[in-house]
């Protein structure tokens, strides 16, 4: 109950942001929220199933490119374009998940990386279709359903992103707290044992990979009309590295942590890169410091404080606890 209250409060706070801040700041916040969503999608794999993906950029790129092509070539309302873009990405994710889950551990990470890099290469291969290294520009932001032009304004788009982020969070939460999520935790802690209990762990892993791709591609799909262009760099392994960092900095296996990590990362990058040229140095060091000193991430730091004082009701199954066990 208390937690619902907190979520409602945060959503309410988010909703009044467009009234308070200038347009430029709003742009930054939108991008940060999109990355928060992206990081959260990876957390399903990394934090809850301990499937280290090093190619999550594939999900982002797939979502971004398919939405871009849909919006560019079909005169569809924006939300429908995004839904179709995500649907296409999920369909493509099925064979990818099938192949990747054939292996585990480092091989799994490398297979996911291979697919992302393959996507990167394919953008160059089919350049008539994808624009090659130039990417695709001038992506429209068509009016919403029933002719609403709500999403064309910056604040309207902000609400769309908030809606998707909160919706995805609630969905992911439902997933990880369901019996399905319990099996995922079983795979994370001991896959052999879980298989011995009669669960088809491969099918569970495939499902979670497809889900992570789905939410990740939603982040990519939201990015497309917001930025107005897509570039092959969206598939590049550095993007996969960055999102993995966001998950770890935020606190893997907590959903909310990676969202915070994504937001923190983007805002810090935007702010510091304006102030100082040394930003990547500071960032690199902060990052190493997090891994060494605070493996539970931002969320772990925040909740540790709470935890030591009194047990928090309604926060039973998670927080830093599962991470510490993993």
Residue in 1, 12, 20, 238 binding other proteins, rule: CB under 8 A: 238
Residue 125 touching other proteins (CB under 8 A) = yes
Footprint of other proteins on 29-68 (CB under 8 A): 46, 52, 54
Q: Are 251 and 297 in contact (CB under 8 A)?
A: yes
The contact pattern for other proteins, residues 271-310, with x = CB under 8 A and - = no contact, is -------x-xx-xxx-xx-xxx--x---------------
Please provide the DSSP assignment of 283-297 as one string.
HHHHHHHHHHH-TTH
**Contacting residue, 105, 137, 145, 314, with other proteins by CB under 8 A:** 105
Q: How far is the CB of 125 from other proteins (least distance, A)?
A: 6
Regarding 107 and contact with other proteins (CB under 8 A), the answer is yes
109 binds other proteins (CB under 8 A): yes
Q: What is the C-alpha to C-alpha distance for residues 84 and 94, in angstroms, rounded to an integer?
A: 16
| Integer Cα distance of 80 and 69 in angstroms | 13
Minimum Å distance from CB 148 to other proteins? Answer: 41
Candidate residues 78, 113, 136, 160; the one interacting with other proteins per rule CB under 8 A: 113
**Read out DSSP for 219-261?**
HHHHHHHHHS-B-GGGGSHHHHHHHHHHHHHH-TTSSHHHHHH
118 binds other proteins (CB under 8 A): yes
Interaction between residue 226 and other proteins (CB under 8 A):
no
Write the burial class of residue 154 (CB in 10 Å: 0-12 exposed, 13-18 middle, 19+ buried): middle
Length of the chain as a residue count = 326
Q: How far apart are CA 82 and CA 155, in angstroms?
A: 18
In the three-class reduction of DSSP (H, G, I as helix; E, B as strand; rest coil), residue 136 is classed as: strand
Binding residues (CB under 8 A) for other proteins: these are 46, 52, 54, 99, 102-107, 109-111, 113-115, 117-118, 120-122, 124-125, 237-238, 241, 244-245, 248, 252, 278, 280-281, 283-285, 287-288, 290-292, 295, 326
């Amino acid at each position: 109950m208390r937690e619902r209250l907190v979520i409602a409060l945060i959503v309410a706070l988010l909703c009044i942001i467009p009234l308070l801040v200038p347009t430029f700041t709003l742009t930054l916040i939108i991008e940060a929220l999109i990355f928060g969503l992206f990081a959260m999608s990876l957390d399903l794999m990394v934090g809850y199933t301990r499937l280290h993906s090093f190619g999550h950029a594939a999900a982002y790129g797939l979502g971004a490119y398919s939405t871009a092509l849909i919006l560019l070539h079909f005169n569809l309302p924006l939300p429908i374009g995004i839904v179709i873009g995500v649907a296409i990405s999920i369909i493509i994710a099925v064979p990818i998940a099938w192949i990747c889950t054939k292996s585990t551990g480092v091989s799994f990470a490398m297979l996911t990386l291979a697919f992302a890099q393959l996507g990167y290469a394919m953008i160059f291969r089919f350049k008539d279709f994808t624009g090659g290294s130039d990417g695709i520009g001038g992506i429209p932001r068509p009016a919403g359903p029933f002719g609403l032009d709500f999403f064309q304004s910056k604040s309207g788009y902000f609400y769309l992103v908030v809606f998707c982020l909160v919706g995805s969070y609630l969905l992911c939460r439902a997933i990880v707290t369901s019996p399905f999520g319990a099996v995922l935790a079983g795979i994370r802690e001991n896959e052999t044992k879980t298989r011995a209990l009669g669960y088809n762990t491969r099918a569970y892993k495939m499902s979670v990979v497809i889900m992570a791709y789905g939410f990740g591609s939603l982040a990519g799909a939201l990015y497309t009309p917001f930025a107005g262009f897509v570039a092959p760099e969206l598939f590049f392994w550095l993007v996969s590295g960055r999102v993995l960092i966001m998950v770890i900095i935020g606190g893997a296996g907590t959903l909310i942590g990676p969202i915070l990590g994504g937001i923190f990362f983007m805002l810090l990058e935007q702010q510091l890169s304006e102030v100082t040229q040394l930003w990547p140095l500071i960032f690199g060091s902060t990052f190493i410091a997090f891994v060494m000193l605070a493996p539970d991430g931002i969320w772990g730091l925040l909740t540790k404080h709470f935890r030591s004082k009194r047990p928090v009701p309604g926060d039973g199954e998670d927080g830093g606890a599962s991470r510490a066990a993993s």
